[in-house]
Amino acid sequence: MATAKAISLSVRPVQSADLCYPVSGIIEYQPEELLGLSVTAYDLTAYRQKLEPEPLLPAPGDLLNQGPVTGGTTIGTNPVGGIEGDVPPIHGPSSIQSDLDNFVLSRLRADDIAAHLTQAIAWYGLKHSADQSDDAIEKRIELLGETTSDPNSVTALLGRLSNLLRLRYETLRDHYVQDSIGVIAEQTSQASSFANTTGAQTFDTNTTTTTTYSGREYEIPLHDNKVRWLRSEIALRQEKLAAFRLVKLNAKENVLREKAMTTAEIRKIQLAYVDTFLVPPFDGVITAVFRHQGDFVTAGQPVLRIENDKFVYLIGTIKCRALIRVGDKVTVSTTLFGAIGGPTVEIEGAVCAVRGHEPVDEQWNVIVRCDNQAGTGRILPLNYSFDFNSTEIEVEAI
């Protein structure tokens, strides 16, 4: 065991933080009695992770599963790929504020973010009930088909329509060729009528009227038939592409992706709203207040300082004619403030960092971690500097 003297040794908290907002804004709420207040830690990271709804991308099993979306279950009684019929619980502005109210030290004005979050939640509820609920998915499957190869899908129906239109075109084409109908320069129409008159005499009257229309646009029925078929085929191919996309969007993995998109948008706004609350990251005491209610603060600007003095560091330079290593036990005995006849205070700790003091061989720069708790309260006050004459230090190798 070696003895040492304190050249310049002071008490520093193990945990100390200048709390600040990650965004700029005006402080809307901050109690006046913060200075000297003992506070309890609140795990804001864990709270962020439990916010509902949780945005989840499809798992690899969902991407590989090409079976029916319903998985053979009855729609409305069992979830479809984890999508329930009712809108799941959601953390809105009021619930977030209620959860954090007992721990908040300061809060920014954030009515615009709260309104944006409310709007996003309303949109999510609308999307869920209209597109992502079990009933909605069942109806989409019924009308669009489960897959593009489903014989009852929209793509299959469009394929049948295309075949019928082609058959119609080919039938008309064959008749036009068989009847040798080429260019029609003048169109004619013929009307016939028959009348029977009875009386003193009986006679029949037959009338035939032929009308020729001149100056009209010529027609080529054979080619016009093909033009109509080609135009219908072009339109059908566009409809087939749109139908293919609709059926694909209705696939299980894409329904889950769509849900993840809407929930991720809500999560983004929720996190922005949570960022307007300042809560203690660890147990401690508020030792400084830099900004007050009504002040404008920029992102990263200190608002409060919180320090935890349950454990402290003794930091500075000591004089010791022995080798000091990390892990060595250190016992410091002192009379606080050098008071004559005052009680001796003793604190123990372990060296957690050390290096030689270059100008003087027998001096060491040390950091000693100590438990500052005692039955009557804290042993040493923060920022206390030890007196050279009234302080004794013992260093014991471990």
For 292-321, what is each residue's pLDDT tens digit?
Answer: 999 999 999 999 999 999 999 999 999 999
- Residue 285: which of 101, 59, 37 has the closest Cα? 37
Q: Let me know if 156 is exposed, middle or buried by CB neighbors in 10 A (0-12, 13-18, 19+).
A: middle
- Residue 336: which of 392, 388, 386, 394 has the closest Cα? 386
Q: Is the pTM of this model over 0.75?
A: no
187, 206, 207 from 191: Cα distances, Å: 14, 11, 8
For 204-225, what is each residue's pLDDT tens digit?
Answer: 777 788 776 666 677 888 899 9
Domain spans, the chain: 2-11+307-396, 42-146+250-278
96, 126, 292 from 52: Cα distances, Å: 11, 17, 32
2-11+307-396: what fold?
A: Elongation Factor Tu (Ef-tu); domain 3 (2.40.30)
Contact 368, 313 (CB under 8 A): yes
Q: What is the pLDDT of residue 68?
A: 44
For 8-45, what is each residue's pLDDT tens digit?
Answer: 999 999 999 999 999 999 999 999 999 999 999 999 99
